[in-house]
A and B are shown apart, each in its own frame.
Chain A
């Protein structure tokens, strides 16, 4: 296993580069087939035809598409994401400014949902087919069926509106992030975690039930070990492998799907950045954020696969 690791990593890195190239090209093509007229956005509704042409020329948009693509790839290879059409700021600076908020959001929610989901899953599996288990299963189904923004809006309504009126101050919105950090983040964390909590409870419960049916668990029980020890030591440890895998993948993927949570709670993360850029047709920012987010997905998948093979020697990398 350890001898094949460097080769495996190299192959995965090459594959990742191919994915990144494909994603960037896809987005580039999408945006050029039917672009939002960015010169209109910059020039305003009363700009003359000459002004509009001048703006296009300044941005290099008057060149043939292939020339534009060539420049785009060349810049990308040297690590330059270009400048925003609208503000002129380098895209990398914009992303660097917004990324911490999104990462905090995902990380905090991740801790909550992982702890909660695994706890609830173990609780549910060790009391399989009891009323408690049924209640947990019902909760999971509701959680899996709730659209992300409904939870966020409901939380906002209850905690930021109703409780605010009765004098409980739990939520703070708008910049700067440094002040009242917890108060800003608690509701977004809860909203994001609630969604994932359900699928992690289900995942943990399923994995635990599989493992608890294994022969060695029966052996452990037959040895007279206390049930608590059987469940946590012999059951939970092997059951955790698929859960950890999923957590890695979800943490990476979530960096790109916090748009809704950010919008509802007014957090200025990369999700909001890209949402605003899509409306104004700010192509370099859209591509930059998409690539950054894809990078997180790829990195998370790679780490998970490598970590998995280290945790479970039965898994072969190939």
Chain B
């Protein structure tokens, strides 16, 4: 940025009034609008707290003396074999096997955040590349890419995702995490790809692109220098709204036993494994359920805030995110 055009200090305009008008970049204006959005800022705060809770998972395990995968049949379960509720020994109760729900929830939130953010980033990057190439190239390339994206949208994604995740079942936690990220990203590429493609097609006919072309710029240069910077706002909004969607996707896969392999906990698998026991132990439903809801809600509110900040004219016009 700084190396390109140095215009020096902004010219100070002398005015009659007490304050001078200073030029601000669009990103500064957007940041200013975002900062004044109380709901979005509060969501960021909530998310920071939850992220800290997740990052410090080993600390909770150390403090309670309960590793996430150890069962404590003596202290965690009562005489009838039912999990014990929240108390001094288990701050948020024990699960059906006598494991610490607090520690598992912290590790599970970690998985949710990592998978959600990675899958959303991967999907938006791939979607942006596919959408830009399709929209810019036009013709046969566009036809093939657009049809492929339509086809992945026609797939019964949950069904195919479970099939994929189950058949390629791996035992190591890291590989399982990577597989889950890939499966989720694969089914999210088309959604952002289509939006970007539409945007690029609209941009392609604009005068400044023609000007570049008239100056003899190559296709690649136009794409990178002229088109991509104009997509930044769109891509930011898409990413921020795809994160919560990816988190819900991961939770659903894990709930059905097709996500991150046990014993690594995920909020979804905690709910799935506890779904037989929660009738008598509400904390097995409440703790992971509330965390999941808070995380997705916070991301959605931040996404809405970013959209409003980047596009102040679009206020009140609701998109169709799901």
Chain A residues in the interface with B (C-beta under 8 A) = 19, 22-23, 26-27, 30-31, 33-36, 128-129, 141-142, 144-150, 153-154, 157, 160-161, 199, 202-203, 205-206, 209-210, 246, 253, 255-257, 259-260, 263-264, 274-275, 278-279, 286, 289-290, 293-294, 297-298, 301
Measured between C-beta atoms, what is the minimum distance from A318 to chain B in Å?
A: 13
Chain B residues in the interface with A (C-beta under 8 A) = 151, 154-160, 162-164, 166-169, 244, 248, 251-252, 255-256, 258, 268, 271-272, 275, 278-279, 282, 285, 289, 292-293, 296-297, 299-301, 304, 316-322
Contact, CB under 8 Å: B166 / A26: no
Residue of A nearest to B297 (CB): A145
> Which label, helix, strand, loop or mixed, suits the secondary structure of the A interface?
helix
Q: List 8 A-B contacts (CB under 8 A).
A: A27-B160, A27-B163, A30-B160, A33-B168, A147-B293, A161-B279, A206-B320, A259-B158
Given the complex of chains A and B, what is the CA–CA distance between A293 and B299 in angstroms? Answer: 31
Contact, CB under 8 Å: A149 / B167: no
Given contacts A23-B151, A298-B154, 16 further A-B contacts (CB under 8 A): A23-B155, A30-B163, A33-B167, A33-B168, A35-B167, A129-B316, A147-B252, A153-B289, A157-B282, A199-B322, A256-B156, A257-B157, A263-B256, A278-B258, A290-B156, A290-B163
Measured between C-beta atoms, what is the minimum distance from B227 to chain A in Å?
A: 26
Given the complex of chains A and B, what is the CA–CA distance between A33 and B252 in angstroms? Answer: 25
Contact, CB under 8 Å: A147 / B296: yes
Residue of A nearest to B316 (CB): A209
Contact, CB under 8 Å: A257 / B320: no
Contact, CB under 8 Å: A203 / B156: no
**Which residues of chain B have C-beta atoms less than 8 A from A27's C-beta?**
160, 163
**Which residues of chain B have C-beta atoms less than 8 A from A206's C-beta?**
317-320
**Which residues of chain A have C-beta atoms less than 8 A from B156's C-beta?**
253, 255-257, 290, 293-294, 297
Whether A210 touches B317, Cβ cut-off 8 Å, given contacts A34-B168, A147-B268, A157-B278, is yes
Contact, CB under 8 Å: B318 / A141: no
Whether A286 touches B163, Cβ cut-off 8 Å, given contacts A19-B154, A153-B271, A260-B255, is yes
Residue of A nearest to B162 (CB): A278
Contact, CB under 8 Å: B322 / A279: no
Given the complex of chains A and B, what is the CA–CA distance between A83 and B296 in angstroms? Answer: 42
Given the complex of chains A and B, what is the CA–CA distance between A278 and B160 in angstroms? Answer: 10
Contact, CB under 8 Å: B154 / A301: yes
Contact, CB under 8 Å: B296 / A128: no
Contact, CB under 8 Å: A145 / B322: no
